[in-house]
Amino acid sequence: MQTTEDPVKYEQWKSEIERVRKIRDDSIIKEYLIPEDKLPPADQLNMMNVPRESGIMTEKELTITETPVYILAGEIAEGKYTAVETLTAFLKRATMAQQLLNCVTEFLADEAMKLAESLDKTFKETGKTVGPLHGIPLSIKEHLWVAGKEANAGFVGFIGRVVDEDNLQLSILKKAGVVPFARTNEPQSLMHADSYNNIFGMTWNPHNRLLTAGGSSGGEGSLVGFYGSSFGIGSDIAGSIRNPAGFNGCYGYRPTAQRITVKGRSGAGAGQITLLPSIGPFTQSADDLELYMKTVTDGKPWEVDCTIPIMPWRKVETPKSLTIGVMKEDGIVYPLKPVFRALDHAIKKLEKAGHKVVTWDPLNSKEIYEMALKSFFADGGTAQKKALEISGEPWLELTKYALSHAKPLSGLEQWEQNAIRNASRIAWFDKMNKEGIDIIMCPVSFGPAAISHECEHWAYTAIFNVLDMPGSVFPTGITVDPQIDAEDTFKPRTEYEARQRDKYLRAPEKYIDAPINLQLIGRQFRDEEVLAYTKVIASAVLGE
């Protein structure tokens, strides 16, 4: 495909890139940076222990950042921590995250500190919190609107576009008491399972700096995975929440599209309605996914967003014994050993906890994934190209890869794709009902986080965007151990499959420590059930 690169035009944008990088750099509190001489050696891959070893954070601050929000919010409300000390703890840890992993595009430290102070003042004066999330620091993906800030969505040509209102989920969460303190990175075009762009560069995985943080909400995944935030907002149209939550070992949730609002975001591709985006949380616990969704829903987003139904958060009961359909593969790229270890581990724990585990076939996943790739770029990639053309910026490798799927469809062909979508939704739903499946458990990807720039296969997540089946991801406690995870006897069925798997198989040692999460998929509009069951399942899998 003909790119839109134009070195001459791009030259003129470089000062703009410098300007926003300076905004980012100026927003960093320098005293929270690890001194040069104390930085981990370049060959150290795993960053997870750095905060504890840095000496920058107190034990109390470490505890604060590692406490799930549903507990932390209660502790703040009891006066155990102030909003200011909570914010300070997260600012410290997030500053390290930025230094080590390049996940933040801008800190909002000044505004955040003023807000935290005012929250503390209110609490001191009234003895009351302003809402259920009083004093909880919050991070947010760059393309989701923060009033008065620029939103570039990973496009150099969008730099300078200041938005005048908050993203609606953010706005509701602010009323509930959150303190927005950091904005996070994403890829060029928002269509990589990676987070690399010409403005802020590459975001890395805290468990292994050779690996990608995933994408497109990779900044959130990396930051929350590092415990630099415990309440983050990302977006997902093909896996962009679930992929990075999975790659970075944290919790993430993609709500049913149109269940909660997506009002207030930048990006290319207006008018693509076959696959609708969702906006949802990154957290450090399953309870927090539910807390996030309930809080946003309780804020009645439908009062200002006409595109979503009036559907208050429902109370649901979790059956004592869940029937869990395990879909071990997508029928396109067979999982690698560490993924099977995670699945086997989870199944054993779940059976031990009294749940029923049955087999779930991938059905027409291949057809669905092909349909998704066609539909994302049914305009022939025009929307993306136009956005890239503004600045003439270089096309990154994974942008070229994504747009290699861009073939202009006719209106008729688009209807044919939509018809596949509609029929598949019905078929999967009916089969779940017929077989009495409460929830589907499957990998987030065929393997662990990819080497940066190499992640190409999105099917494990994207098929559920087509099906519009809401999904969470949760950590299993399993991480890649090259000693035992190098084994593989599977015979690839296609060249594509071989290429994807070989990236790992030629050097499994590079993937050391990468966490393996799993995905839980439920029925459309049953967000309550998915999250209630996620709590039970994650607890069983991670428990003794």
Give the residue from 171, 203, 175 showing the smallest Cα distance to 188. 203
Total interface residues for a second copy by CB under 8 A:
45
For 311, residues 6+ apart whose C-beta sits below 8 A from its C-beta are 259, 297, 302, 525
Count of CB atoms situated within 10 Å of the CB of 25? 13
Of the candidate spans 121-129, 169-177, 444-452, 524-532, the one that interacts with a second copy by CB under 8 A turns out to be: 524-532
| C-alpha–C-alpha distance, residues 22 and 456, integer Å | 32
Residues ≥6 apart with Cβ < 8 Å to 434: none
Provide, rounded to whole angstroms, the least separation between the CB of residue 412 and a second copy.
4
- Confirm whether residue 87 is marked as ligand binding: no
Query: Do 441 and 449 meet the contact criterion of CB atoms below 8 Å apart?
Result: no
- Alpha-carbon distance 418 to 371, whole Å? 8
Give the catalytic positions in this structure: 141, 216, 240
Which residue in the set 425, 431, 453, 503 belongs to the binding site for a second copy (CB under 8 A)? 425
Question: Is the separation of the CB atoms in 291 and 172 below 8 Å?
Answer: no
Kindly indicate which of the ranges 291-299, 361-369, 377-385, 500-508 contains the residues binding a second copy, using the contact rule CB under 8 A. 377-385
Cα–Cα separations (whole angstroms), residue 208 to 243, 503, 514 = 16, 16, 6
Please state, as a whole number, how many other Cβ atoms lie within 10 Å of the Cβ of residue 117.
14
269 touching a second copy, by CB under 8 A: yes
Q: Which is nearer to a second copy, 192 or 263 (CB)?
A: 263
Q: Which two tokens stand for residue 108?
A: 């909002």
For residue 7, state whether it binds a second copy (rule: CB under 8 A). no
The DSSP symbol for 279 reads E
Which DSSP symbol is given to 377?
T
Q: Which of 414, 476, 519, 534 lies at the binding interface for a second copy (CB under 8 A)?
A: 414
In this chain, which of 15, 125, 271, 491 binds a second copy, going by CB under 8 A? 271
Q: Does 319 bind a second copy (CB under 8 A)?
A: no
* Residue placing its CB nearer to a second copy in the complex, 485 or 527: 527
Helix (H, G, I), strand (E, B) or coil at 27: coil
**Cβ 469 to a second copy, closest distance in Å?**
9
Q: Choose between 416 and 454: whose C-beta lies nearer to a second copy.
A: 416
Please say whether the beta carbons of 112 and 94 come within 8 A: no
Of 183 and 523, which CB lies nearer to a second copy in the complex structure?
A: 523
> Beta partners for 231?
283
> Minimum Å distance from CB 294 to a second copy?
15
Q: Is 273 a residue that touches a second copy (CB under 8 A)?
A: yes
Query: Cα Rg for the chain, rounded, in angstroms?
Result: 22
Task: Report, in Å, the least distance between residue 324 CB and a second copy.
Answer: 19
The answer to whether 238 is a known ligand-binding residue is yes
CB of 266 to a second copy, least distance (A): 15
Question: Which of the residues 464 through 483 are near a second copy (CB under 8 A)?
Answer: none
Q: Kindly give the pairing relationship between strand 278-283 and strand 231-236.
A: antiparallel
Known binding-site residue numbers for substrate: 190, 216, 237-240
Known binding-site residue numbers: 190, 216, 237-240
Binding site for a second copy (CB under 8 A): 258-259, 269-274, 302, 304, 306-311, 314, 378-380, 382-383, 408-422, 425-426, 429, 433, 523-526
